[in-house]
Amino acid sequence: IDVQFYGAEEQLTFAIRRDGEMRQFEAERDYNQPLGLAFTHPTFDTDIRRCNNLCEFCFVLQMAPKFRRTLYIKDDDYRYSFLFGHYVTLTNLSEHDWWRIETMGLSPLYVSVHVTDWEMRRQYLRNPDAPDILAQLEWLAERGIEVHTQIVVTPGVNDGRILDQSIADLTNFYPTVQSISVVPVGLTKHHKYGLRPHTPAEARAVIAQMEAYQAHFLQEFGSRFVYLTDEWYLVAGQELPPITAYDGQQLQENGLGMVRHFLDEWEGVKGEIRDSDSVFHHQSLTLVTGTLFGPVLRETAVQFTQLTGAEVTVEPIVNQKLGETITVAGLLMGSDILNHLQTAGFGDLIILPRVMFDHPDRIAMDNISPQDIANQLKRPVALADTMGDVWDALTGQSQVLFAPGVRSKGPIDLRVINDSDAESNAHFS
Are 205 and 239 part of one and the same domain?
yes
Q: What is the pLDDT of residue 429?
A: 19
Cα(177)–Cα(223) distance, rounded to whole angstroms? Answer: 12
CATH number of 367's domain: 3.40.50
pLDDT at 47: 72
Residues 74 and 222 in one domain: yes
Q: Could you tell me if 391 and 272 are in contact, meaning their C-beta atoms sit under 8 angstroms apart?
A: yes
In a domain, 165, yes or no: yes
Q: Which amino acid is at 281?
A: H
Are 134 and 31 in a shared domain? Answer: no
Q: For position 1, what pLDDT does the model report?
A: 63
Amino acid 20: pLDDT: 86
- Contact between 12 and 28 under an 8 Å Cβ cutoff? The reply is yes
Q: Decide if 159 is inside a domain.
A: yes
DSSP-assigned states of every residue in 233-278:
HHHHT-PPPPGGGGTT---GGGTSSHHHHHHHHHHHHHHHHHT--P
Would 417 be classed as within a structural domain? Answer: no
Q: Per-residue pLDDT tens for 186-221?
A: 999 999 899 999 999 999 999 999 999 999 999 999
- Supply the DSSP symbol for 92: S
Find out whether 64 and 110 touch, Cβ atoms under 8 Å. no
Tell me which residues of the chain have a pLDDT lower than 50.
411-429
User: How many domains, the chain?
Assistant: 3
Verify that 82 and 158 share a domain, yes or no: yes
Whether 192 is in a domain gets the answer yes
Residues 391 and 285 in one domain: yes
Domain boundary among 203, 221, 255: 255
Helix (H) or strand (E) holding 182: strand 177-184
| pTM (two decimals) | 0.86
- 230 within domain boundaries: yes
Does residue 268 share a domain with residue 143? no
The three-class DSSP label of residue 80 is helix
Cis peptide before 175 (omega within 30 of 0): yes
3-class SS of residue 25: strand
Q: Quick one: 392 and 375 in the same domain?
A: yes
Judgement on whether residues 237 and 290 belong to the same structural domain of the protein: no
Are 24 and 93 in a shared domain?
Answer: no
Alpha carbons 177 and 275: distance in angstroms, whole number: 45
Q: How far apart are CA 37 and CA 44, in angstroms?
A: 13
CATH of the domain at 157: 3.20.20
Instruction: Let me know whether 113 and 169 are in one domain.
Output: yes
Same domain, 130 and 192: yes
Q: Mark which of 255, 282, 307 sits at the end of a domain.
A: 255
Residue-by-residue DSSP string for 162-178: HHHHHHHHHHTTTTTEE
Encode pLDDT of 338-361 as tens digits: 999 999 999 999 999 999 998 888
Instruction: Give the DSSP letter of residue 396.
Output: T
**pLDDT for 46:** 58
Confidence (pLDDT) at 253: 73
Instruction: Identify the domain containing residue 27 by its residue range.
Output: 1-38
- Report yes or no on 413 lying in a domain: no
Burial label, 20 (beta-carbon count in 10 A; 0-12, 13-18, 19+): exposed
* Domain end residue (candidates: 207, 229, 255): 255
In this structure, the answer to whether residues 117 and 228 fall within a common structural domain is yes
In a domain, 86, yes or no: yes
Let me know if residue 193 belongs to a domain: yes
d(CA 358, CA 360): 6
